[in-house]
Structure 1
Amino acid sequence: MIAKDNTPAGVIIDISTFERIESIIEDYGFAQFITEADDEEPLEGAEAQKMIRGPGWNGSNIDADRHL
């Protein structure tokens, strides 16, 4: 697509091409994440849980009626 000032403004692609591009970008992002994580020291179980749940989590704020 060309804008009124004759500059490129967009493209139209079929869905299969879009899905291939999307997959490549996701794979690249995942590979970057793995590469960055390789440089970090592994966490012990409690440290990992604290990081995942956040600093305010202490185990007592679990809603017993809620299933995860």
Structure 2
Amino acid sequence: MLEIHKKIVIDENKKPIAVQIPIEEFERLEEVIENYGLAKLMDEVKDDERLSSEDAKKYYQSLKQHVEN
């Protein structure tokens, strides 16, 4: 399990309002969340129709042209 060294920031009423963590731990959390999201997306589309290599290239080019315009 990932150990998180956190510091709780409180307001003048002693109410917790934020958390500080070291940047290295934050970056690791981001990586874990991104990997989880990617794995979940891959699982969701595992039964979707697959494109041939040629069709995939055409689709990619159409996306690229759409972004450039």
Q: TM-score normalized by structure 2?
A: 0.60
Q: Distance in 2 between matches of 1:30 and 1:40?
A: 16
Counting strand residues as a fraction of each chain, which structure ranks higher?
Answer: 2
Report the CA distance between 1:8 and its aligned residue.
3.2
Which stretch shows the higher mean deviation, 19-28 or 1-10? 1-10
Aligned residues: 57
| Aligned equivalent of 1:29 | 37
Distance 2:27 2:48 in 1: 32
Identity level (%): 35
Structure with larger RCO (C-alpha < 8 A, sep 6+): 2
Alignment gaps of 5+ in structure 1: 58-68
SS at the partner of 1:11?
A: strand
Code of the residue aligned with 1:11 in structure 2: it is V
Counterpart pick for 2:47 among 28, 39, 50 = 39
Structure with bigger helix share is 2
Moved over 6 A (4+): none
Stretches of structure 2 lacking an aligned partner (at least 5 in a row): 1-8
User: Which structure has the larger Rg?
Assistant: 1
Which residue does the alignment assign to 2:62? Answer: 54
- Cα RMSD, aligned residues only: 2.4
